[in-house]
Structure 1
Amino acid sequence: MLAENLTDLICHHQPDGRYEWLSPSVEAILGYAPEALVGEDPYELFHPDDCERIRTESHEQILNGQEANTLIQYRIRHSEGHYVWLESLTETLRDASGEIVRLQVTSRDVTERQAIEEELQRQAHHDPLTGLANRTLLTLRLDALVASGETDFAVLYLDLDRFKAVNDTLGHSVGDELLVQLASRLRREARQCDTVARIGGDEFALLLTEIESEDDAVAAAARVSHAVHAPFDLGGTLREVTLSVGIVLGREDQQASGDVLREADLAAYDAKKNGRAGWRLFTPALREASDRRRRLEADLERAAERNELRVAYQPIVRLSDGALSGMEALVRWQHPELGLLYPDVFISIAEEIGRIGEVDRWVMQEGLRQFERWEAEMGREIDLTLSVNCSARDLHEPRFAERVRGIVGAEPRRAERLTLEITESLLVDDPQRAAAVLHELRRDGLRFSMDDFGTGYSSLSVIHALPVDTVKVDRAFVQRMHEDASALAMVNNVVGFAHTLGKDIVAEGIETPEHLVALREMGCEYGQGYLFGKPLAPDVMSTLVRADVPSWAPLWESVRA
C-alpha cells in the first residue's frame, strides 16, 4: 500500500537487470503501465550515451560486492519517446547464504532540476549577448588541448577595429546589434569542430582544431576577415568594419590556455598597430617586444619623479631673414639602463597608461623654467616662443585648462611665449570639446599651432572656428617637394590656405637649401629642420640663444646672391 502512494519510483530487478516489479508511480513518471515493463531489459530504455556509465559505475560494482552508496543520474526513454532524467540509488536484497537475489532501485524524476542546472551551466559558459562561447568555455577547451599534447590547433584572436566610434556615434544599443550580427557571421565561417567565442567587449576568438598547417589558420583568418567585409545594416545605417587578427599555432612548449591567448592577443595588437584590417602570426619576437614594453610601462610610471625626463630644443627660424624666432621643446627619456630614448619609443606607451598628460605638463614646465634660467644668466628678456606638443588626451582631461594655468601662473610673460601644438586628429575626435578648451586657454594669453597639417581631416570651417595662430606643414610633404609634384602642390596650397585664414605657416623638415628657397618663394613665414639644427640639449641651445648671428646665417647670403 505504501509503494502505491509513493511519488518516487521503486523497481525490483533481477541480478541481470531485468524488471521484476515496478511501483505504480512508473506510469506518472515514464508513461508505462507497471506490468508492461516486467521482464524487460532497462538497458533498452536507457539513453545510448548513458548505458556504459550505468553499467560500470553502478550495476557491475554492485554485482561485484561493492555497495553503490552514491546517486547516479541518467536518461531513460518515456513511452512517448522523449527522455526523462532520473536520479537513482541501488540496494541489494540477499538470501540466507548472502547471494544477491534482487536489486532494488529507488528513483526520482529530476528532469526539471537537470534543465535548470544545464541552463545555469550554459549561462556560465556562454556570452549572454551573442550566445557564443565565453572566455571560460574557450579556456576549458583550450586547456584540454594543451594538456593532451596536441598541436594540430590554432587560435585566432579577433579584435574589432574602431568599435568605440560605433558606440560613440550611434549608441551602445547599435553597438550591441553590431556584435550580434558579427557573431552570426563568425558562426557561419566556423566548422563543427571549431569554437567561436566572445572573450571581451569587442574581442572574439576562433579556436580551430584538426588543422594540418599554418596555411589552414591563415586561410581561416582570410575567411573571417572577408565575412565581415560586407556592410552591416544597423537600423538603416550601413556600417563597414574590419578585424585585426592575431594567429597563434599549437606548440609542444605551451603550458596553459592563458599563454596561448596572450600570444594571440600580442599578434592581434601588432596587426592593429600596423594599420588594422590585417592579420599577424605570433613569433617569439612579439613576446620579447611585449616584455620590453611592459618594462617600459613600469619604468615610465616614475620617470618624471626620478628626474629621468629631458628636453631637447629644435630651432624655429624666421625665413624672411634667418633670425631665431623660437624653438620646439621635444621630450627625451634618459633611461637608467637603456640609455637615451626618443619619443617614438615611449610616447604611445605614455598615452596608453594615462601618463601622457603628466609628461606633456612636465615638458611645458621645464621649458618655461629653462627660458627663465637663460634670462637670469643673460640679464635680459628673451623674445622667443616655446612650442610644446599637446596630445588629444590632454584636451579630454577635465582639469587640463586648470592645470595649464597652474603652470603658467600669474605671469603674463609665461603665457605669451607658450604655444601649444595640437593635431588634426584631436579635432576629429571631439571638435566641440577641443574648441571649448582652446578658447578658454586663449583668454589666458596662450597661442596654438596646428601640427602636421595636411595629414588629417580638418576643414576650413573647423580651422577658422578655432583660435589657431599657426599652421605647421608636415615634414613628409616638405621633404618630397622636389621629387613629387603633388607634394609641392600640397605645400603651396596649405600656405595659401593658411594665409587666407590669417594664419602664419611653419614648415617642418627643411633639410636642403632648395627647400628653403622654395618655401621663401611661397611666402612661408617660419621653418624648422636639420638645415638649421637638430633638437639640441639645453647647453648647446644656450649658445644659439646668446648668439647675435645664428650659425645658419650664411644660407641667407647665398639665397640673396
Structure 2
Amino acid sequence: MHWESGATSWPADVIHGVLFAGLLVALWELADLAAVKTTPLLARILMIVGAPLSLLTIALWGGMDMPYGVYFVVMMAMWYLLAEKTWSLVASGVVFGAMLLSAVGYHGWSPHTVMDIVVMTGAVAALTVMPWRHPVLIYLALLAVSLTSVIMNPNGMHDFIVTVTTGLLLAGYITGRARREKVWADDKERAEHDALTGALTRHGWQRWRERAQSQADTDWLFVAFDIDDFKSINDTWGHMVGDEILSQFAARLLRQCHPEDAVVRFGGDEFAWVSKLTDPELAKKVTATLHAEVTGGSYETAAGLVQLGVSMGYVVGPLTDRLLEDADVHLLYAKRHGKNYVVGADTPITDADAEPIYRNELGWLADAALNLWQYCQVGTVMTSVDGRIVAVNPAFERMTGRSADELVGQSPAINSAKTTPKAVYQQMWQQLTQGKPWQGRLKNQRPNGTFWWACEEIMPIHLGGRLVGYWSLVEECSEDQQRAQSPTVASSWLEQFSYRVAFQPIVHLADEHIIGYEALIRPSFQGEMVSPLQFFSECAQNALSLEADLACLSAIARRIQEMGFWPAGSQLFINIQEATLEQSERVELVLKQIMTVLPRSQIVLEVYEHATSSDRDWASVAKSYAGIAFAQDDFGVGEADIVRMHQRRPAWLKFDRALVSRLPVDAALQDLIAMMVSWLHQRDSYAIGEGVETREQALILQHCGVDAAQGYLWGRPSWDVPQTVSRLMTAGESPKDVAG
C-alpha cells in the first residue's frame, strides 16, 4: 500500500487487478478441490488463510502495490463463500490482520492507514449484521470502498483502478459460482429424492445411512411398507391415479417424520420409514400410529376416493443390512397372512415363513402331483395362492416351449401374449379367490414368437379349509376352434360391463354460449370403473370393437330416453367408429331410440377412426345417414387426417387436445390451424378445439378463427344436462349465426 508517488499508467493498474483476481480465484478453486480430496475443514482453512497470506506476501516482498480495497473485496468474498457466520468472522479477522500488517509494518502510521483501519472495522461490523449475498449489494459496496481509497491518498487513482478491477472480476466469479452451486444442489436433490413423492431414493438412502451409522450405539426403528393390491389400482385406473396415491401416501408418512428421520421409496409401492428410537417399547405404538395415518381416510384421486390397505413389517436394532432383511421378512409375513396389518418383533417368524410360499405350503403336494402328472398328455400346472408356478408336467413344458426351471417361481403371465383383456383376468381371479373353478381361453406366446390359444380349467386347492393354491388343466386349441367360440366369449365378456354416460358442454368461442354436448362413455366392469382408453384398446385387440361400439351407442340412447328431454337446438355429439357406420341397420335402430327425444338434425356423429380405409366408399356410407351431420374427431393424431377430411367432408372438424396444448408455444402451429379453419369455412364446415384448459388457449383458438371449443375451462363432464341453456343454436343455424 504505497501512499507515495510512483503512479503507473492505468493499463498496468488493470493488469495488476486481473492478476490479483486470478490468484484469488485459483486459491479458492484449490480449496474446493481440497474439500473433495480431503476434508471440508482443511478446505475452509485453506480458503481463510490462503488468500490473505498471498496478498500480504505480495505487499511485503512482491514489489507490487496492494490497495486496502483489495483486502476489503476479499473479506466480502469470504462472507459470500463461507456459509457459516462463525467461519466468516474468523476469515474477516485474518484478512483484517493481513491488511494491518501490510499497512503498519511496511508503511508505518499515517492518516490514510488510520482511515483504512476504521473503514475495515466498520465493514466487519456491517457484514456481521447485514445480508450481503445479493449481487447488487456486492457491487454497491465495491463502489463505495473504491471511492474511499482515493481519500487522503496521493496514489489514489492507482488504488481505485486496481480495486475496481479486482472487485468486478471477483464479483462476477462469485455470482457465477453461486449459480453453479445452485445447479449442483438441484442435481443432488434430484439424485437423492424421488421426484414424485419427495421420499429418499436408493442413492439418497445410502447417503443418509452413511451419516446415520456414524452415531454409535444407537437403535433404529425400521418399518417396511407395501400398499396392498397396488397393481390392480394401476391396471384399473391407470398410472396417473397410481402416482396420485403414491404421492399422497408419502406425504402422510412425511407428516410423521422428525428432522432426523427418513422416508425411503425403494421402488414402485415399496416404502420404508426409519427413525432413531430411544425406547424400544415405543416401537409398537409408533407403528400403530403410522398404520392409522396411511390407512385412515380415503385418498382423493381423479377417479374418485380410494381406500387403501397397507401391510407393514418392523424391527428395532442397529442400522445394518440384517435389520433391513428382517423388516422385509416381517412385511412378507403380513402380506401372506391377510394383508393390511402390522407385524413386528413380537411376532414369531420361522424359517418356513421366510421362504417362498410355494415351498412351505405346496412343496409336498407339488412333489406328489409331479409323480401323478408325469405321463399325462394334458398340460398340468400348480400355482400358489399368490399366483406363482409351483410345478408343471412335461406336456405343459412342450406346449409352452419353456422348461420347468424357467417356469417354476414365475407368474403364469410369463406365457401371455399380452392381448387378453385385463377384465378377463379380473373375472378369473374373482372367481378363484372365492373358491370357485374357472374355465376359459387365453392367448399365449412362446419364446420363439409363435402364438397359441390355451383352453384352461383352473380349480382351487384347499388344505385344512384354507385356500393354498390352484391346479390347472391346459390344452392347446386351434385358431379355428377359438374363432368358433369367439362370439360366445365376446358376448359373455361384454355383458359384464355397465356404462354410464357423461356430457361435456361445447361452447361457441365468440360468446361462450353452449351449442351442444358430447356424450362420453364411462365403462365399469362388475362395478369397478375402467378407463375408456383401456376398454376400447382391449376390445380392439380381441376383435370386439364393433360390439363394444354398439353397446356404448345403446347406453347413450337409454340415457337420453331416461332423461326424457334434450335442450332445444343443442347438438348431441356421439363418438362412433368408421367401421361401425357400415352396420347402418343396427346403428339406425339405436338412433331411432334417440330420436324419440331429439330430432335427427341435432345429432352429430363423431368418427374417431385413426386409420382410414382406402377401399371404403365413404359417400355410400354417409348416404345411409341422411339428415345427420358428421364430425371428424381427433384431428392431428391420426395417420391420414388430411385424406379422411377430403373423403368425408365433415360438417365439423375437431382439433385434438395434443394440438391445442401446444398452441401457446408454437406460432407455426397457430398459422397452420388458422389456414385449416379458413379452408373449412370455404367448404361450409366448422372447427372445434378439444381439451381447452386455459384462457390463453381459448383466446388463441378464437384468434385462429376456430368456431367452438370444449374442455375443463368451461366444465368437466357431468352426468346430467340442464333443460335450458342461456343461448342455443336453433335447428339449421350455423356458428356464424350465433356469433351474430
Relative CO higher for 1 or 2, CA cutoff 8 Å, sep ≥ 6? 1
> Which structure carries more strand by proportion?
1
> Which structure carries more helix by proportion?
2
Which of the five TM-score ranges fits, normalised by the shorter chain?
A: 0.3 to 0.5
